[in-house]
């Protein structure tokens, strides 16, 4: 990661090069929402593909699903979200800004343990210590209220007959409710895992820091169902696999660390994050949680379906434990972009911005660039061959130097330049993004040349 990188620089690059735009931008935006553009969607898709390949395709004990976002509301009673998924919030009556009461206290009083405080205790604390509004400096608060984090919508077409349903705040419930289906149809033996990539929604007011925290976000996660006696081994195994994965995607070891949770949910046996050193500092990148048998026991209770597993070898009947491994696709995309960014000083005194993505993650693998416009017919032939194999960009506008810089900024690992010699001998110039070295290759060899360099 470049030490000159700030979040503002990254946001500007994303906006100007088509990675990420502000959500609903022409209407002045919409807080904590972002739209991936033509370049960003390729990067994010490649990250998701790499995750799926590593954890589903290459693991015979893991099965994928794609569950519905809208679930039977009973699911959220069983999970505990209906009762307790909320933040304590209060509004400043002077400037109308809204804050989380726990954050307000934590920021001023570092050694106060807000997690054990009730709503009332937070309210009293803020009054006793005259905690002022960080925005306008006044002391003029509404009472502290619990603000629900699940987005509600309703189902039903006849007025007055609507039922409340929720946009899911986490994807993992889609795996728990399909535990029996997957086990039966795939003839799966415990231990096995169910994996999913999908969107979740949380009605949070906390400032987002670009893609770091958004009200809708995509999760890549799996739930490993195992015997309680093996559960700590799988927990440690996924800690290692999770760390290996983000390193293999190009994140530097020195920017990654484990953070073990000291305070655990009442049902949890162990929990940790992997943190990444974002431009905003060390923050959670992904989580590995030992959830005990909480999830399956709750769904057994609320659905009335017995979710115990009968081991065919030992005849033992037990409720599997769950090890959860979860990583945010948007947050990981932000980490990958932060790591890849470099402002490189060149020998001629100029500076170029380069995104050093691993080739398999790069939005475009190859850019096809005719040296001059009257070479575009030949260039389009080459593009037609390459685009059957890879995502390619095509650009014939402006000087070749400017076109190289643009490809550097979106992280394209290879540029193929078509010149007048190409018409004579069917060779092209291939330029490497990182070294800027150029070599001359026969057109009929370039597909296999790129394939070798791009593989994950």
Q: Single out the residue of 106, 91, 6 nearest to residue 337, CA to CA.
A: 6
CB nearer to Zn ion: give 136 or 186.
136
Which of the stretches 60-68, 132-140, 185-193, 287-295 binds Zn ion when contact is defined by CB under 5 A? 132-140
Closest distance to Zn ion from the beta carbon of 205 (Å) = 14
Q: How far is the CB of 218 from Zn ion (least distance, A)?
A: 34
**Shortest spacing between CB 87 and Zn ion, in angstroms:** 18
Using the contact rule CB under 5 A, the part of the chain among 125-133, 347-355, 384-392, 427-435 near Zn ion is 125-133
Binding residues for Zn ion, rule CB under 5 A, total 6
90 binds Zn ion, rule: CB under 5 A: no
Select 206 or 374, whichever has its Cβ closest to Zn ion.
Answer: 206
Give the one residue of 22, 72, 94, 387 binding Zn ion; rule: CB under 5 A.
94
Min separation Cβ 90 and Zn ion, Å: 11
Beta carbon of residue 130, minimum distance to Zn ion (angstroms, whole number):
14
Q: Which is nearer to Zn ion, 144 or 368 (CB)?
A: 144
Residue with Cβ nearer Zn ion (94 or 303): 94
Q: From the list 56, 133, 243, 274, which residue makes contact with Zn ion (rule: CB under 5 A)?
A: 133
Quote the tokens at residue 240: 């290692």
Measured from the CB atom, the residue of 94 and 178 that comes closer to Zn ion is 94
Phi, psi dihedral angles at 189 (to 5 degrees): -110, 135
Return the range that interacts with Zn ion (CB under 5 A); candidates 72-80, 94-102, 222-230, 295-303: 94-102
- Residue 90 or 392: which CB sits closer to Zn ion? 90
Instruction: Return the C-alpha torsion angle 404, 409, 415, 417, nearest 10.
Output: -20
Select from 127-135, 174-182, 282-290, 409-417 the region that touches Zn ion (CB under 5 A): 127-135
Q: Which of 31, 68, 70, 136 binds Zn ion (CB under 5 A)?
A: 136
Q: How far is the CB of 107 from Zn ion (least distance, A)?
A: 15
Residue 126 lies near Zn ion (rule: CB under 5 A): no
Say whether residue 135 binds Zn ion (CB under 5 A).
Answer: yes
Contact region with Zn ion (CB under 5 A), list: 88-96, 179-187, 338-346, 411-419: 88-96
Tell me the closest approach of the beta carbon of residue 142 to Zn ion, in angstroms.
Answer: 11
Residue 136 or 310: the one with the smaller Cβ distance to Zn ion is 136
Please report, as residue ranges, which positions from 274 to 333 form the binding site for Zn ion (by CB under 5 A): none
Residue 65: which of 156, 166, 202, 177 has the closest Cα? 177
Q: How far is CA 12 from the centre of its chain?
A: 20
With respect to Zn ion, which residue has the nearer C-beta, 135 or 440?
135
Site track 38-77 with Zn ion (rule: CB under 5 A), x = hit? ----------------------------------------
Among 10, 39, 47, 92, binds Zn ion (CB under 5 A): 92
Find residue 275's DSSP bridge partners.
Answer: 257, 284
> Which lies closer to Zn ion via its Cβ, residue 145 or residue 380?
145
Give the 3-state DSSP-derived string for the chain, with helices as H, strands as E and coil as C.
CCCCCCHHHHHHHHHHHCCEEECCHHHCCCCCCEEECHHHHHHHHHHHHHHHHHHHHCCCCEEECCCCCECCCHHHHHCCHHHHCEEEEEEECCCCCEEEHHHHHHHHCCCCCHHHCCHHHHHHHHHHCCCCCCCCCCCCECCCEEEECCCEEEECCCCCCCEEEEECCCCCHHHHCCHHHHHHHCCCCCCEEEEEEEEEECCCCCCCCHHHCCCEEEEEEEEEEECHHHHHHHHHHHHHHHHHHHHHCCCCHHHEEEEECCCCCCCCCEEEEEEEEECCEEEEEEEEEECCCHHHHHHHHHHCCCCCEECCCCCCEECCEEEEEEEEHHHHHHHHHHHHEEEEECCCCCEEEEECCCCCCCCCCEEEEECCHHHHHHHHHHHHHHHCCCCEEECCCCCHHHHHHHHHHHCCCEEEEECHHHHHHCEEEEEECCCCCEEEEEHHHHHHHHHHHHCC
Closest to Zn ion by CB, 133 or 144? 133
214 strand-pairing partners:
none
Gap between the Cα atoms of 28 and 438, Å rounded: 44
Least CB distance to Zn ion at residue 139 (A): 9
Closest separation between CB of residue 307 and Zn ion, Å? 49
Binder of Zn ion out of 95, 247, 265, 310 (CB under 5 A) = 95
Which residues contribute to the site for Zn ion (CB under 5 A)? 92, 94-95, 133, 135-136
């Amino acid at each position: 990661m470049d030490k000159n990188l700030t979040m503002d620089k990254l946001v500007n690059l994303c906006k100007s090069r088509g990675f990420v735009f502000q959500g609903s931008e022409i209407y002045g935006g919409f807080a904590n929402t972002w739209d991936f553009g033509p370049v960003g969607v390729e990067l994010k898709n490649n990250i998701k593909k790499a995750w799926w390949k590593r954890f589903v395709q290459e693991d015979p004990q893991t099965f994928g699903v794609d569950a519905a976002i809208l679930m039977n509301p009973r699911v959220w009673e069983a999970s505990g979200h209906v009762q307790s998924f909320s933040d304590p919030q209060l509004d400043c009556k002077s400037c109308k800004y809204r804050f989380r009461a726990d954050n307000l206290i934590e920021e001023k009083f570092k050694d106060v343990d807000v997690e054990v405080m009730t709503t009332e205790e937070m309210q009293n604390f803020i009054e006793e210590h005259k905690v002022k509004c960080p925005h306008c400096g006044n002391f003029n608060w509404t009472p502290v209220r619990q603000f629900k984090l699940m987005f509600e919508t309703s189902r039903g077409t006849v007025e007055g007959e609507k039922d409340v349903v929720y946009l899911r705040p986490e994807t993992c419930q889609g795996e728990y409710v399909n535990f029996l289906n997957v086990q039966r149809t795939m003839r799966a033996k415990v231990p096995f895992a169910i994996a999913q990539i999908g969107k979740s929604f949380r009605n949070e007011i906390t400032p987002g820091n670009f893609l770091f925290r958004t009200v809708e976000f995509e999760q890549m996660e799996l739930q490993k169902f195992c015997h309680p006696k093996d559960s700590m081994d799988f927990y440690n195994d996924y800690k290692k696999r999770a760390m290996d994965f983000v390193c293999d995607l190009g994140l530097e070891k020195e920017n990654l660390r484990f953070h073990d949770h000291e305070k655990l949910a009442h049902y949890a046996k162990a929990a940790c994050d992997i943190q990444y050193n974002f431009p905003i500092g060390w923050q959670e990148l992904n989580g590995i949680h030992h959830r005990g048998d909480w999830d399956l026991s709750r769904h057994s209770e609320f659905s009335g379906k017995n979710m115990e597993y009968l081991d065919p070898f030992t005849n033992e009947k037990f409720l599997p434990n769950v090890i959860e491994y979860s990583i945010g696709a948007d947050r990981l995309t932000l980490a990958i972009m932060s790591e890849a960014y470099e402002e490189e000083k060149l020998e001629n005194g100029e500076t170029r911005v380069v995104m050093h993505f691993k080739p398999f993650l790069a939005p475009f693998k190859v850019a096809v660039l005719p040296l001059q416009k009257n070479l575009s017919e030949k260039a389009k032939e080459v593009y037609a061959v390459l685009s059957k194999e890879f995502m390619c960009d095509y650009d014939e506008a402006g000087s070749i130097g400017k076109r190289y810089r643009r490809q550097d900024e979106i992280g394209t690992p290879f540029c193929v330049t078509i010149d007048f010699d190409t018409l004579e001998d069917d060779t092209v110039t291939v330029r490497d993004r990182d070294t800027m070295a150029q070599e001359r290759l026969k057109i009929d060899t370039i597909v296999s040349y790129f394939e070798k360099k791009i593989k994950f």
